[in-house]
């Protein structure tokens, strides 16, 4: 790959002035939420974001709708026009996009460009996915049924290159464990040490989710251990109650599939204070995309996207106060943190064991619990991270508020085998 992209300066600076998000939940098993539809979910999140920005639907000029797999999960291929009427934007311009689990981060990148270009002043961008279910035949949207493995498993392959990759070695297999395996060899970690690191990481992310009412998995591991008859939580984490799903990843390091939606409103920074006292400026977004046939693709694409965004902003990892990593592959969290320099090279695993990556540690990350605890509504997950980032940067995260008010937050998006984005936000107040 060629590393010669140098990001330019946007035509004008863009800031986030409103955010909204539904909880992440299981729409099949949760009786209170069963029957909610894509349009309703996206609509609730969109109206929340508008309320937060003190605007009405009439004020918004254009919107983006992101979802990872609208065809299989929702029986549609142009969800933008199917959701528009739910929040008063009938007849206005909009666009659907779909980049797997990276969708939510790209949603912000796209909206920023729409405003930075000068084309629009007030843009809504959001994502919604209902990952737990699928349409129950050809019926209205509230009639949904559990997503079966017969439908899901063959369809998962559609993120891999169909010309070659998925029929050679670029399909599942290396996808989950390639990086952690490479890291363990590079740094001389035993399988037991890796297990400890991943269990500690999951444990600390769950501690944050316990304090986050929008998260899907909120029961602390201490409680789960006790309920299962273990005095020692770490013994529980290594027990058959938390089985290995791959060579390295246990259930606690695997994402929890969910339904949910999240949105934000972006405007030119020069008028941002009209909408909020606490605008969050989007400084830049680096991007790199590699197919799953490329060895160590996540490491390579993360390094490249981070290089671009640091170069464009003149900032370094030392300037970052908070980090989000899309960690539907649990190990991605601390590995990406290390790759971008947020944790020291070769020693990030120690920071995890010491709990420094927890919301109350000095290197906080994934303060909503991340994909393993907050849940994973595929395309919506990235926007849920942006929601949490803005909440933390405004100092509104309550019990899970990080110790130091974050000036800069770094988001590492990842997904769709695999798109990578690296975005830096700055508290502009």
CB 321 within 8 A of CB 147: no
The pairs formed by 34-38 with CB atoms below 8 angstroms and a separation of 24 or more are 34/144, 35/142, 35/143, 35/144, 36/142, 36/259, 37/141, 37/142, 38/67, 38/70, 38/74, 38/76, 38/79, 38/82, 38/83, 38/128, 38/130, 38/141, 38/261
Which of positions 228-267 make contact with other proteins (CB under 8 A)?
Answer: 244-249, 254
Establish if 181 lies at the interface with other proteins (CB under 8 A): yes
Q: Is 197 exposed, middle or buried (0-12, 13-18, 19+ CB in 10 A)?
A: buried
Among 95, 135, 182, 313, binds other proteins (CB under 8 A): 182
How many residues in the shown chain lie near other proteins by CB under 8 A? Answer: 34
Interface mask toward other proteins for 110-149; x: CB under 8 A: ----------------------------------------
Based on the shown chain and the rule CB under 8 A, indicate whether residue 2 belongs to the binding site for other proteins.
Answer: yes
Of residues 119 and 191, the one with the C-beta less far from other proteins: 191
Selected range binding other proteins among 13-21, 163-171, 257-265, 279-287, rule: CB under 8 A: 163-171
308 vs 392, beta carbon nearer other proteins:
308
Contact 68, 100 (CB under 8 A): yes
Minimum Å gap between C-beta 287 and other proteins is 16
With CB under 8 A as the contact rule, the residue among 43, 100, 170, 279 that binds other proteins is 170
Smallest distance, other proteins to C-beta of residue 169, A: 4
Q: Which residue in 59, 121, 155, 177 binds other proteins (CB under 8 A)? A: 177
String marking each residue 3-22 x if it binds other proteins according to CB under 8 A: -x------------------
Q: Which residues contact 230 (CB under 8 A, 6 or more apart)?
A: 236, 239
Q: What six digits make up the tokens of 362?
A: 């000095």
SS3 state at 218: coil
- In this chain, which stretch among 85-93, 168-176, 309-317, 386-394 interacts with other proteins, using CB under 8 A? 168-176
Q: What CA–CA distance (Å, rounded) separates 41 from 37?
A: 6
Which tokens in the block code for residue 273?
Answer: 């204070």
Our finding on whether 295 is near other proteins (CB under 8 A) is yes
Q: What is d(CA 238, CA 407) in angstroms, rounded to the nearest whole number?
A: 37
Residues in touch with other proteins (CB under 8 A) = 1-2, 4, 153, 163-165, 167-178, 181-182, 185, 244-249, 254, 292-296
């Amino acid at each position: 790959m060629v590393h010669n992209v140098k990001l330019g300066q946007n035509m004008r600076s863009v800031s986030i002035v409103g955010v909204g998000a539904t909880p992440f939940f299981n729409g099949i098993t949760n009786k209170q939420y069963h029957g909610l539809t894509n349009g309703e979910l996206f609509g609730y999140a969109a109206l929340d974001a508008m309320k937060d920005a003190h605007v009405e639907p009439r004020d918004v000029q254009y919107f983006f709708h992101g979802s990872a797999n609208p065809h299989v999960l929702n029986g549609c291929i142009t969800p933008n026009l199917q959701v528009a009427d739910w929040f008063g934007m009938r007849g206005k311009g909009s666009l659907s996009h779909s980049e797997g689990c990276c969708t939510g981060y790209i949603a912000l990148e796209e909206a920023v460009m729409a405003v930075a270009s000068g084309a629009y002043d007030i843009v809504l961008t959001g994502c919604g996915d209902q990952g737990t279910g699928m349409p129950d035949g050809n019926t209205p949207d509230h009639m949904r049924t559990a997503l079966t493995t017969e439908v899901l498993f063959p369809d998962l392959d559609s993120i891999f290159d169909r010309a070659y990759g998925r029929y050679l070695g670029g399909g599942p297999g290396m996808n989950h464990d390639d990086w952690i395996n490479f890291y363990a060899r590079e740094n001389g970690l035993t399988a037991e040490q890796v297990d400890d690191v991943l269990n500690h990481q999951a444990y600390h992310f769950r501690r944050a989710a316990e304090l986050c009412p929008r998260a899907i998995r909120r029961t602390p591991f201490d409680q789960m251990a006790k309920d299962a008859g273990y005095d020692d939580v770490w013994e529980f984490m290594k027990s058959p109650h938390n089985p290995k799903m791959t060579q390295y990843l246990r259930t606690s390091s695997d994402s929890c599939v969910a339904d949910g939606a999240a949105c934000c409103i972006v405007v030119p920074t020069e008028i941002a204070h009209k909408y909020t006292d606490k605008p969050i400026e989007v400084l830049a977004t680096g991007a790199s995309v590699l197919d799953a046939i490329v060895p160590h693709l996540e490491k390579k694409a993360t390094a490249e996207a981070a290089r671009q965004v640091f170069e464009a902003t003149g900032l370094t990892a030392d300037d970052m106060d908070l980090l989000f990593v899309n960690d539907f592959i649990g190990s991605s969290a601390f590995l990406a943190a290390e790759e971008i320099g947020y944790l020291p090279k070769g020693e990030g695993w120690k920071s995890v064991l010491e709990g420094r990556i927890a919301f109350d540690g000095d290197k906080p990350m994934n303060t909503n619990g991340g994909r393993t605890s907050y849940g994973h509504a595929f395309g919506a997950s990235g926007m849920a991270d942006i929601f949490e980032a803005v909440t933390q940067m405004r100092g509104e995260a309550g019990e899970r508020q990080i110790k130091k008010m974050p000036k800069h937050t770094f988001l590492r998006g990842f997904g769709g085998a695999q798109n990578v984005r690296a975005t830096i936000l700055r508290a502009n107040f």
